[in-house]
Structure 1
C-alpha cells in the first residue's frame, strides 16, 4: 500500500509539472517567436521555411523610423515619477490606518479599499474631464496624476505595519523620536520586502499601460512606449512588416525582461518574504 501511494504521488507530481510546463510554453512560445522574427531578414520573416539567417538591420531601422528613444525616456520618467509619489503617499496612509487613532478610521479605510474593486477604466471619462479642466491634457503629469495614490499598496503596507511589534515604536518614543523618524527608521526598513514587491508591480503595470496614455496624449513628445508601438504598427504596410513590428515589440518588452533576468533572485525573494497575514 505505501508503494502504491508513492507511485500515485509521483504520478500526481508528473501531472502538475506537465501542466506547469504547458502554461510556461503558452507564455514563452509567442515571445520566442517575436524575438526570432525581430532578427530575421525581411524575406525570411514571411517565408514558411526555417531560416538560420539573422540581422540587426530591423532594430536599427525601427529605432530610426520612430522616436523610440523619446518614448523610452517618457516611459521611464512616468514610471519612476508615479512610483516615487506612490511610495510617499502609501507610506503615510498605511501608517495612519495602522497606528494613528482617529474617529472613523475603520470606516474611512473600508471606503478607501472600495477603490480596489473599481476598475480603473471606469474612471477614464471623469479623469479626462478633470485633466481637461486643469489644462493637463497631453502632459506627462497628466498621465501620472490619477495613479499617485494606490489603495492596493496602502492595504499591503498597512497589513505589514500592523504585524510589527508596537513595542518598537514605544521604545523609540521613549528616546524622543518623532513619528516621521519612527516611520523612516523602523517601519520602512522592516517592511522592505513589501516595498520591493509593490515597486515591481507598479513599475511593470505602468510600463505596459496602454489605454490611459493613449487617451490623454496626442504628441510624440509625451507618448509612452506602448502607444508608440501601436502607432508604429498601424503605420507599417500590411502583410510584409512582421520583422519590423517584432523588432519594435522587442524594444518595448526587452527592458523589463532583462531587468527580471538580472534581478530574478531578488524579485522572487521579495515576493516570498512579503506574505501578508490577517
Structure 2
C-alpha cells in the first residue's frame, strides 16, 4: 500500500510538471511560429508555410531597437552594480556588527520585502520630479538601487561564515573592507550569481515603472519600446509583435541556454527555491 501511494504521488507530480511545461512552451512555440512565417499564417498552421526573416527586419526598422537594447543593457548593469555594492555593505553590517537599533533596522528591511513596488509609483514619481530626473535612465534605476532581498540573502550567508576567519584576517593586518572583499565576498559567490540572475531577469522585463517615468526614445528600455507595435492604427500585427518580442528576450534565452548548468548550480548552492 505504501509503495502504491508513493507511486501515485510520483505520477501526479510528473503529470503536473508536464502540464506546467506545456503552459510555458505553447505560447513560446506560437511566438516562434508567428515570427518566422508570413502574417497570413499567424492564425493557422500549415506544413507548407514558407519560412522568412522579414518580420524581424520590419520590426527592427519600425522602432529604434539599437537604442532600446543599449538603454536596457546600461540600466540593468547600473542597477545590478548598485545593488551588489550597497547590499554587500548593509548585509555585512547586519551580520557582524551590533549597533543601537540594528534589529529594528533589519526588521524594516524585511518589511520592505512585503511591499510591492507598484504601491510606491506615485511617491517615487514625485521624488524623481523633485530631483529633476524624470525621463532619465537614472530615474528608472534609482528606486531599485537598494535591494532588501539581496540584503537578506547576503546577511544569512555572512552569518554562516565562521568568525574565526575575521580574527585570522585581523591578525594579518586586514581592515574591515579588506576582510569583506577577500573573505566574505568570495565565499558568497554562489549567492551573488543567483541574485544577479534574478535581478537581471526582473529589470530586463520590468515595464510599468519605466513606462510611467519615461517620455522619450532616448531613455526608454526594450519593454516600453515594444508598445509601439500594439498601437498600430490598422490593427495589431502579431507577426511584428512576436518578432519584436523574441528579439527583446533573445539575450536572456541565449544566456540561459548557454549557461543553464551554472545557473542551476548557483541557485542550489545559494539555497534559493
TM over 0.5: yes
Contact 1:46 1:242 in 2 (8 A): no
The Cα shift of 1:10 comes to 2.6
Structure 2 match to 1:25: 22
Deviations 1:127-165 (A, max 9, x none): 100111111000011111111100111011000000000
Residues 252-263 of structure 1 mapped to structure 2, 5 A cutoff: 252-263=248-259
Structure 2 match to 1:141: 138
Question: How far apart, CA to CA, are the structure 2 residues paired with 1:74 and 1:19?
Answer: 39
Q: Stretches of 4+ moved more than 6 A in 1?
A: none
Question: Cα distance 1:63–1:73, how it changes in 2: closer, same or farther (>3 A)?
Answer: same
The Cα shift of 1:112 comes to 2.0
Structure 2 match to 1:266: 262
Is 1:10 equivalent to 2:2 in the alignment? no
Mean Cα displacement is larger for which, 49-58 or 180-189? 49-58
Question: Cα distance 1:51–1:244, how it changes in 2: closer, same or farther (>3 A)?
Answer: farther
User: Which runs of 5 or more residues in structure 2 are unaligned?
Assistant: none
The Cα shift of 1:272 comes to 0.3
Contact 1:83 1:203 in 2 (8 A): yes
The Cα shift of 1:62 comes to 0.6
TM-score (norm 1): 0.94
The Cα shift of 1:9 comes to 2.5
Question: How far apart, CA to CA, are the structure 1 residues paired with 2:190 and 2:125?
Answer: 34
TM-score (norm 2): 0.96
User: Which runs of 5 or more residues in structure 1 are unaligned?
Assistant: none
Deviations 1:76-105 (A, max 9, x none): 100000000110000000000000121111
Contact 1:78 1:140 in 2 (8 A): yes
Question: How far apart, CA to CA, are the structure 1 residues paired with 2:247 and 2:61?
Answer: 12
Deviations 1:183-229 (A, max 9, x none): 00000000001101110111100000000000000001111111011
The Cα shift of 1:113 comes to 1.7
Q: How many residues align?
A: 272
Is 1:176 equivalent to 2:176 in the alignment? no
Residues 197-236 of structure 1 mapped to structure 2, 5 A cutoff: 197-235=194-232
**Superposition CA RMSD, Å:** 1.4
Deviations 1:45-84 (A, max 9, x none): 2446554421011101110111111101100100000000
Contact 1:44 1:51 in 2 (8 A): no
Question: How far apart, CA to CA, are the structure 2 residues paired with 1:48 and 1:37?
Answer: 10
Residues 35-114 of structure 1 mapped to structure 2, 5 A cutoff: 35-47=32-44, 49-114=46-111
